Structure 1
Amino acid sequence: MPYKHNASRRHHIGKMMYKVTNWAEYEAGLRRRGSLTLWMTPEALAGWTAPRRKTRGGQPLYYDLAIETTLMLGMVFGLRLRQSEGLLSSVLALMGLDLPVPDHTTLSRRARTWMPTVERRAAPDAPLHVLVDSTGLKIYGTGQWLEEKHGTKSRRGWRKLHLAVDADSGEIIAHSLTDQETGDTSQLKPLLDQIDDEIGKFTADGAYDGYPTYDAVFHHSAGARVIIPPRSNAVEPPTAQACCQRDDHITSMQKECRLKWQASTGYGKRALVETAMGRCKGIIGPRLRARSFLAQQTGAAIGVTILNRMLACGRPKSVRCQASAGATK
């Protein structure tokens, strides 16, 4: 992070080196990520068909777990709904299971009416260190090239995926999908409402700067420590506020430089949420395939579930080594 402030002298700064200490465990976890048995669990097979309803109305054939399993398989392997249906049919045939497979029409319809929930692997032993940020996801359509090339105004734009990540475990513990016009701070309360555990530290970038953000975090956890860089023109209010942490950040930056403030507060941890977003776009993809907004929200939730399950297979433990010597003169 400090390198961008030393661009002219970057070739004199040694590159940080890291070493993975659990390479054997991490390599085995990477292989497990491609195993089909990871997704076809006994619980999914036992709860495949929906229980018979006793009220009036149509009888559902598939339980939510069957829909989730089919959509997960398609998203992991980058398949459309019809190809996901064919893949699951072949997998069940190879396993010798006589189970019905949801067709693509059922998958498309049920994706608009069902929302999976993000579950944590285990309760934390200490208060959480929550990292929050947002990223843009493309929508299925003509894209920006047509608009930039021919000046055509496309109705399709972007969706914003808001994530809350546990800094210690790397899990995504809360998420929300909105349109491109929604501000980041407006989604802070919905994200915090999804977190049941106590928050010990909250870190975000300057887009979340403001007293409403501090009030929302303190309403969730009164003793939380908020680390958000104030704007460059931020000043202390003339009247005393209920929260003085933001004032302390402003005073600290006025006395010292921004880089010293980042080092003293541990603001560099925020890079982990950027890593989670890169992992999301690298594994799931930078584009939402569904056309309706409700189905896009379901797809985003399934993508978060997939990332957390892949993270459970194995996570590298890195330690910092000595910086590489000698840059070019």
Structure 2
Amino acid sequence: MKKALICGVSGQDGAYLAHLLLTKGYSVYGGSRDAQMSSFQNLTRLNIRSQIALVSVNINDFRSVLQTLLKVRPDEVYNLAGQSSVGLSFEQPVETLESISIGTLNLLEAIRFSELPIKLYNAGSSESFGDTGRLAADEETPFRPRSPYGVAKAAAFWQVANYREAYQLFASTGILFNHESPLRPERFVTRKIVAAACRIAQGSDEKLTLGNIDIARDWGWAPDYVEAMWLMLQQPQPNDYVIATGHTRKLKDFIRIVFEQVNLNWEEHVQIDHSFFRPTDLAEGNANPAKAFWHFGWKAKHKMEDVARLMVEAQLTGILHPTDS
């Protein structure tokens, strides 16, 4: 039985990944800064909390990371920890950089020091590319991040590449474009939109206040993307991969589709507040995920329209689809 340690198991990706690994027969260890105090609500919502061995590990503390690796001795480590909101990174740039960059470095150094044959997956981000215009970013596209979050993810990416080349570690980064699900907290715009639309459909007279709705992104379905994470660590050699649907849509389109799902006209319920605009933002994000398909056959099963439908359904019924097709 393979053992996997998921750092950041309580988040959206961590919970879906834990579910996937359990279905594949793994013994799954879930890392959190304080496993005794954390709620692990997402694991509970997926009905898997009792199947996860929860461990306290602070990836910003090298000693904590090393002790955990020596105790668990995992075959695979998934680094999904760290501050995960682009918007919040403008308010907390230091915490964002430390939690992502230092945490990744500690994991790499602890794996090297332990000399255990551990395979590492690192959660990269399309935010590292910055604004590429209409260019579909792939693994060769230069990084020009435009947010503290993007800067931190870019730094972590190069740390992984350096350790892979210098010490021959099996370490791969998935450069993931936006991927959503009902497990997102409401500070993420997609979940905020879905929750508000459903409340309005049920009788609320509120207005949904948003920032720039003309931004365009490649939006996917989180359960699809955690499968790509797992596949990266099953390859004979470590490598970096862009993970995306290959289809870009405006946020305005997502809003329209969500409101249509509850039989409402979005224009009657949405207002724009310019104070919500970020200091710097990406007008458009386009992706070319061909390498992942050619190397290990991964292709997104869901597009943005499917994501909107599944998120509304979950909001109204409480039913989650961790392996929905």
What is the TM-score with the length of structure 1 in the denominator? 0.23
What is the TM-score with the length of structure 2 in the denominator? 0.23
